[in-house]
Chain A
Amino acid sequence: MEAVTTHDHAHGHDEHAHHPAGIMRWITTTNHKDIGTLYLIFSLTMFFIGGLLAMGIRAELFQPGLQYWRPEFFNQLTTMHGLIMVFGAIMPAFVGFANWQIPMMIGAPDMAFARMNNWSFWLLPPAALLLVSSFFVPGGAPAAGWTIYAPLSTQMGPDMDLGIFALHIMGASSIMGSINIVTTILNMRAPGMTLMKMPLFVWTWLITAYLLIAVMPVLAGAITMVLTDRHFGTNFFNAAGGGDPVMFQHIFWFFGHPEVYIMILPAFGIVSQVIPAFARKPLFGYASMVYATSSIAILSFIVWAHHMFATGMPAAGQLFFMYATMLIAVPTGVKVFNWIATMWKGSMTFETPMLFACGFIFVFTIGGFTGLILAIAPVDIQAQDTYYVVAHFHYVLVAGSLFAIFAGTYFWLPKWTGHMYDEALGKWHFWLSIIFFNITFFPMHFLGLAGMPRRVPDYALQFADFNMIASIGALGFGLSQLLFVACVIKCAKGGAAAPAKPWEGADTLEWTLPSPAPYHSFETPPVVK
């Protein structure tokens, strides 16, 4: 490790700010800040593609009956919306944050494996292209749901192969990114920064990276088995040949449940940076935050079958997975209590990052409670595969992960661009987002309880009112996100010059650098006391 850092150091010195200009700068870059920017732009693009598909879904569900799409195309919309948002928008966004922030927050000059960092990013656009181009092959895009359950996925056309290849490539990218992050954090911290002095964002990413390394190969295994079942005569999931369709679900969710924490732990990290900064008060219970995050990560490996209560497990299996799942409420609760205790007796101001962080706590907790309700196996039997579940995971993924991404973006934009963002625009973005988010997803709880299945293009008449409300909310939520783009572009182009530390209560290392952060930072490591 030592060798690599010194090498980078010497190299960087020669080429200080002499990198290729134009497009080649971005293609050949090994700079963590450039790569972070690429990740974030990629993720924003995918967010809008996925969002467009969501608009398609909500347009069809505005009224009962089939209005715009055939049922098979509707299934493609829901499947692709899920895949794109999970693998194209949320995950790369967090990797973008990791790239920008981790080296600056631990006082490192760059990521450990700079060239691999370039490669992990540049795998993503071809993967996304494969995934999106599946809309144009005969039979259209994958339509088996983002969970691609066999044997439905073995029935699909060539689109499923494209989807599988895309997931393989994205998985490889994630694994490389994670190895890079782990190596960087473990080896390149500034002198004096012990593990228990790391900013919580770095901690959550360290744990997330381990989760990714553990479970992305599991996903790769599952989808490879689907691929060989489809083309090479194997029968992993084909009962007629001695296989087991339910086995696919076990393998998929062994990946899938840690995956949902992969999408929320870095969000916890961002919120844990933002809240103390705007409360002007140190994070309450730092150590317990670290332990809670680790507990969540460990528990995430033994709860997967709560996604499968309706498959008909034996009572002992149901009970085990029910108890294990309920346990997750404890460390998650600890986190929420700690954030509120951080705010307690602080001296708070409510700039946009803080608004999104408070919104996050409030709305994410609703998703946490519905998660607890869903953990109760008998209740889950009623709610499984209904809109209640759709409401639940949008409360944790949109109000959770996405709001944290917004909070982090507004928080660090001054450091990234050197300009302050437009506060008024940011506040509008927050208030419209949180209001329309709730108009969209809150009624879905009622729909699910009353018995509306998910993944249906049409529904019975008693579901009409709430669906109409949800569709109106979705349109509003989608349009509100244009404000975000406007705000980011405006900030990148200009605005009031940002001081090195624009937030009074912020105390991590990145704020010791000038704004915008120089192309190469911390060539001489700072000393942490």
Chain B
Amino acid sequence: MISKWAQLLATAAIFSPSLASAQSAVARYNLQDPQTPIAQQIYDLHTLIFAICCVIFVTVFSAMFYAIWKHRKSVGHKAAQFHENVTVEMLWTIIPLLILVAMAYPATKTVIAMKDTSSPDLTVKVTGYQWQWNYAYLQEGVSFYSKLATPRDQIEGTATKGQNYLLEVDNPLVVPVGKKIRIITTANDVIHSWWVPAFGVKQDAIPGFVRDTWFKVDKPGVYRGQCAELCGKEHGFMPIVVEAVEPEKFALWMADQKQKAVAQADDPNKSWTLDELKERGAKVYAANCQVCHQATGLGTPPVFPALSGSKIATGPVADHVALVLSGKNAMPTWKALSDVEIAAVVTYERNSWNNKTGDMVSPADVKKLRK
């Protein structure tokens, strides 16, 4: 009905001819249907407090409109001159206070329940990037990126918008139903916020810090949310999709993911050429080093020194590898990277920008230098 009204208004205003291109979806007036116990509590809490507010609102404004109607000069009402009444004033201070206490009680219980992230069945680390999410299943060692799947032409209005316009991703987060899932959030660049309305979960993802939250969803299905903290120009285009599946199906999916990860991993016996290492190194650099040292290799001195022309990146190879392994000052240790990755990134750094050493560092060299 709202839809018809809006269309009518729009037609009357002769605003835009491209109206027909957008498919419609049913509008909602209230919170999304809750799918977790916490979301249910929030939904009920909102309903309760909204109802109390409505009752107070109607009472108070009945009085105001009664006064407006009856106590006006035009109907000959003479002004009384009272301007104080201690009893009344005490009452309308104390009664609201009591109402607030009644509201605070259930709210407190929900706050405490929301914060209880203990004994999870599965932990997923969620990292916000400008502008996509990374999901890492910590115990299983599986991780992948998840970004907007809506085609650009739908956004630009040259194609009809699909049903899940702006709420669809390439790789959804997959979780088992009936299990307590703990979400650990952090971010790579600026603050993002991981929000799935149907779960009652919204947790900021803060660079350099770790926060956590949890949910347990019982009904298999696809649940959609969005980034809820302004994170730059594509903020409106980094949705979240969670697919909740039966535990058996989840196990199969996880096995499949692990196989894929193995297939993508490096063969330890492969012999690398300089160009292959540089190519691989460029990717490692982009994923790990670029944030601080910049794509240009110029860094952001004085905190993040330039690599281009630096003494380390053009001096002895062993020192360079050692620094990457151990870290220094603001730079963390990178020993968690594989031998191949370190060999590749060091090779890349020594042969990029103004660095023309021609050095090639093999994974075996790195292995030797690791202590």
**Residues of A at under 8 Å CB distance from B?**
62-67, 70-72, 75, 143-145, 149, 151-152, 155, 233, 235, 238-241, 243-246, 279-288, 310-312, 314-315, 318-319, 322-323, 326-327, 329-330, 333-334, 336-337, 340-350, 358, 361-362, 365-366, 369, 372-373, 376-379, 381-382, 384-386, 446, 449-451, 453, 455-466, 468-469, 472, 505
Q: Is A343 touching B208 in the complex (CB atoms < 8 A)?
A: no
A239 CB contact (under 8 Å) in B71, B89, B193, B208: B208
Q: Does B64 lie within 8 Å of A343, measured CB to CB?
A: yes
| Nearest 4 pairs of A and B residues by beta carbon | A239-B208, A456-B236, A312-B211, A450-B28
Tell me which residues from 206 to 264 in chain B have a Cβ below 8 Å from any Cβ of chain A.
206-209, 211-213, 225-237
Contact A379 B28 (CB under 8 A): no
A122 to B266 Cα, complex, angstroms? 67
Additional A-B contact list (7), CB under 8 Å, known A65-B156, A330-B96:
A312-B185, A330-B100, A334-B92, A334-B93, A340-B64, A378-B200, A386-B228
A residues within 8 A CB of B35? Answer: none
B89–A288 CB distance below 8 A: yes
Distance from A72 Cβ to chain B, minimum over Cβ atoms (Å): 4
A-contact bits for B177-204, CB 8 A (1 contact / 0 none)? 0000000010001110101010011111
Which residue on chain A has the smallest CB distance to residue B211? A312
B92 and A378: CB pair below 8 A? Answer: no
Q: Quick one: given A378-B111, A460-B25, are A451 and B6 in contact (CB under 8 Å)?
A: no
Q: In the complex, A51 Cα to B9 Cα: how many Å?
A: 22
What are some 17 contacts across the A-B interface (CB < 8 A)?
A149-B230, A151-B190, A239-B206, A239-B209, A240-B207, A310-B229, A347-B79, A348-B68, A365-B60, A366-B57, A373-B50, A376-B49, A378-B45, A381-B200, A449-B30, A453-B236, A456-B226
> When the two chains form their complex, are residues A67 and B27 in contact, meaning their CB atoms are under 8 A apart?
no
> B195 to chain A: which residues have CB within 8 Å?
385, 453
Q: B71: which A residues are within 8 A, CB to CB?
A: 279, 343-348
Please tell me which one of the listed residues A329, A347, A458, A472 contacts residue B155 in the complex, with CB atoms under 8 A apart: A458
Per-residue contact bits, chain B 13-44, to A (CB 8 Å; 1 contact, 0 not):
10110110111111111111000001001100
Known contacts A239-B208, A346-B77; A450/B29 CB under 8 A: yes
Residues of B within 8 A of A155 (CB): 189-190, 232
A340 vs B61: C-alpha distance in the bound complex, in angstroms?
9
Q: Are B60 and A337 in contact (CB under 8 A)?
A: yes
Question: Chain A residues near B230 (CB, 8 Å)?
Answer: 75, 144-145, 149, 152, 385, 455
Q: Which residues of B contact A465 (CB under 8 A)?
A: 2-3, 5-6, 24, 27
Q: Which residues of A contact B84 (CB under 8 A)?
A: 284-287
Are A152 and B9 in contact, with the CB atoms below 8 A?
no
Residue pair B100, A329 in contact (C-beta under 8 Å): yes
Q: Which residues of B contact A72 (CB under 8 A)?
A: 233
B302 at the interface (CB under 8 A from A): yes
Report the nearest B residue to A467, measured CB to CB. B6
A-side contacts of B104, CB under 8 Å: 322-323, 326
How many angstroms from the CA of A152 to the CA of B190 in the assembled complex? 6
Contact of A446 among B29, B53, B89, B202 (CB under 8 A): B29
Q: Does B274 contact A (CB under 8 A)?
A: no
Q: How far is the CA of A287 from the CA of B201 in the complex (A)?
A: 44
B211: min CB distance to chain A, Å: 4
Hey, which chain A residues are within 8 Å of B112, CB to CB?
A: 315
Residues of B close to A462: CB separation below 8 A: 25-28
Assuming the A-B contacts A310-B202, A310-B203, A334-B89, are A244 and B209 also in contact, with contact meaning beta carbons closer than 8 angstroms in the complex? yes
B312 within 8 A of A: no
Interface flags for B255-295 (1: CB within 8 Å of A; 0: not) read: 00000000000000000000000000000000000011000
Residue of B nearest to A456 (CB): B236
A341 to B80, CA, bound (A): 11
Candidates A346, A366, A469; contact of B79 at CB < 8 Å: A346
Taking CB atoms, residues of chain A closer than 8 Å to B202 are 310, 381-382, 384-385
Centre residue among A246, A347, A358 by max chain B CB count within 10 A = A347
Q: Does B165 contact A (CB under 8 A)?
A: yes
B50 touches A75 (CB 8 A): no
CB proximity to A under 8 Å, residues B53-86: 53, 56-57, 60-61, 63-64, 67-68, 71-74, 77-85
Which single member of A63, A285, A451 contacts B83 (CB below 8 Å)? A285
Q: Are B80 and A346 in contact (CB under 8 A)?
A: yes
Q: A281-B81, A449-B28 are in contact. Are A379 and B68 (CB under 8 A)?
A: no
CB <8 Å contact, B16 and A450: no
Q: Specify which of A340, A349, A372 is in contact with B74 (CB 8 Å cutoff).
A: A349
Expressed in whole angstroms, the Cα–Cα distance for A326 and B292 within the complex equals: 43
Does the CB pair B68–A358 fall under 8 Å? yes
Contacts of A379 in B (CB 8 A): 42, 45-46, 49, 107
A315→B111 contact, CB < 8 A: yes
Of B104, B157, B197, B230, most buried by chain A (CB within 10 Å of CB) is B230
User: Which chain B residue shows the least CB distance to A366?
Assistant: B57
Asked, given contacts A66-B157, A460-B165, whether A322 binds B111 with beta carbons under 8 Å apart, the answer is yes
Bound-state Cα–Cα, A83 to B165, Å = 31
Contacts A245-B206, A337-B92 hold; do A311 and B211 have CB atoms under 8 A apart? yes
Residues of B within 8 A of A233 (CB): 302-303
Interface centre among A239, A346, A472 (most CB of B within 10 A): A346
Residues of A within 8 A of B13 (CB): 472
B268 to chain A, nearest CB (A): 32
Q: Determine the distance from Cα of A386 to Cα of B207 in the docked complex, in whole angstroms.
A: 22
C-alpha gap A361/B107 in the complex (Å)? 28
User: In the assembly, what is the distance between CA of A323 and CA of B84, in Å?
Assistant: 29
B31→A382 contact, CB < 8 A: yes
Q: Is the CB of B207 within 8 A of A372?
A: no
From A65, A238, A310, A365, give the contact of B22 (CB < 8 A): A65
Query: In the complex the two chains form, is B156's CB within 8 Å of A63's CB?
Result: no
State the CA gap A151–B195 with chains docked (Å).
Answer: 20
